[in-house]
């Protein structure tokens, strides 16, 4: 690996920019993401920044059990994130659809629609688990390089 690639790898690990996408969440996980960025947990120490536009982001943080209405939006937003990119499923909902399983309004779990890199289970997960999930996704991002993920494989972070 030459010097530029090693530098790039290091910088990708140290600068994960997030885009938060709510796919029908109860807002429980959403406030935990905000808590992870707030003074007590301060994820900015790892270079994490919550971005307004998916074009700027590296990591897509999805919360919620994926409602039928949200499927199209999820696919669009996933396409708008420029590569290399990673997806973190935050909470039990995107992983398994949680207590809403068998609901006719859902089309989950998230793994059916886009490749997920890290699952952070919990209802809601603790902010430190979310930060660990994001750090793991940043590591995956750095190791993956420019290739686009094909196979759906996921690491799991214990809450």
Partner 1 sequence: MSILTALARLLIFPGILFAVPAAWFFLWVERKSVAMMQGRIGPPFMQPFFDFIKLLGKSTPQRTGVAGALMRAWPLIAVSTAAGAVGLLPVLPSSGGFQGDLILLLALLEVPSICIIAAGFTSRSIFGEIGSAREAVLSVSYNVVFLLAIISVAASQHTFRLEALAQAPATSLRWIGILAVLICLPAKLHLNPFSLPNAEQEIYSGPMVEFAGPELAMWELSHGLEWVAATGLVATLIAPQMAFWGLSALAFVALSFGIVLLLSALAAATARLAIDTTVRFYWQCTIIFAVLAVSSALLMRLRS
Using the structure block, give the residue that is written with the tokens 């307004």.
52
Whether the CA torsion 66, 37, 139, 81 is positive or negative: it is: positive
44 binds partner 1 (CB under 8 A): yes
Mark the segment that binds partner 1 (CB under 8 A) among 75-83, 91-99, 100-108, 124-132: 75-83
150 binds partner 1 (CB under 8 A): no
Binding positions for partner 1, 94-133, rule CB under 8 A: none
Q: Which DSSP symbol is given to 126?
A: P
Binding test (CB under 8 A) with partner 1, winner from 6, 7, 103, 123: 7
Please name every residue paired with 116 in a beta bridge, in sequence order, or none if there are none: none
Beta-carbon count within 10 A of 65 CB:
27
User: Pairing between strand 86-90 and 59-63?
Assistant: parallel
Q: Which C-beta is closer to partner 1: that of 144 or that of 159?
A: 144
55 binds partner 1 (CB under 8 A): yes
Structure tokens at 78: 């996933």
Question: Which CA distances in Å does 159 have to 29, 62, 91, 137, 156?
Answer: 13, 17, 10, 16, 9
What is the separation of C-alpha 123 from the centre of its chain, rounded to a whole number of angstroms?
A: 16
Q: Which C-beta is closer to partner 1: that of 106 or that of 140?
A: 140
Binding test (CB under 8 A) with partner 1, winner from 27, 34, 83, 101: 83
51 binds partner 1 (CB under 8 A): yes
Site residues (CB under 8 A) for partner 1? 7-8, 10-12, 14-15, 17, 39, 42, 44-45, 47, 51-53, 55-56, 58, 80, 82-84, 146
């Amino acid at each position: 690996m030459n010097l530029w690639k090693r530098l790039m790898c290091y910088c990708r690990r140290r600068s994960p920019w997030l885009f938060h996408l709510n796919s029908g969440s109860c807002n429980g996980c959403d406030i935990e993401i905000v808590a992870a960025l707030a003074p007590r947990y301060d994820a900015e120490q790892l270079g994490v920044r919550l971005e307004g536009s998916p074009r700027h982001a590296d990591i897509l943080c999805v919360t919620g059990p994926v409602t039928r209405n949200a499927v199209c939006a999820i696919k669009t937003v996933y396409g708008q994130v420029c590569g290399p990119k990673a997806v973190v499923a935050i909470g039990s909902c995107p992983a398994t659809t949680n207590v809403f399983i068998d609901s006719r309004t859902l089309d989950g779990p998230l793994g059916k629609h886009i490749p997920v890199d890290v699952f952070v289970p919990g209802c809601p997960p603790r902010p430190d688990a979310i930060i660990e999930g994001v750090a793991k996704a940043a590591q995956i991002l750095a190791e993956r390089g420019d290739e686009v993920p094909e196979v759906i494989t996921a690491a799991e972070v214990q809450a």
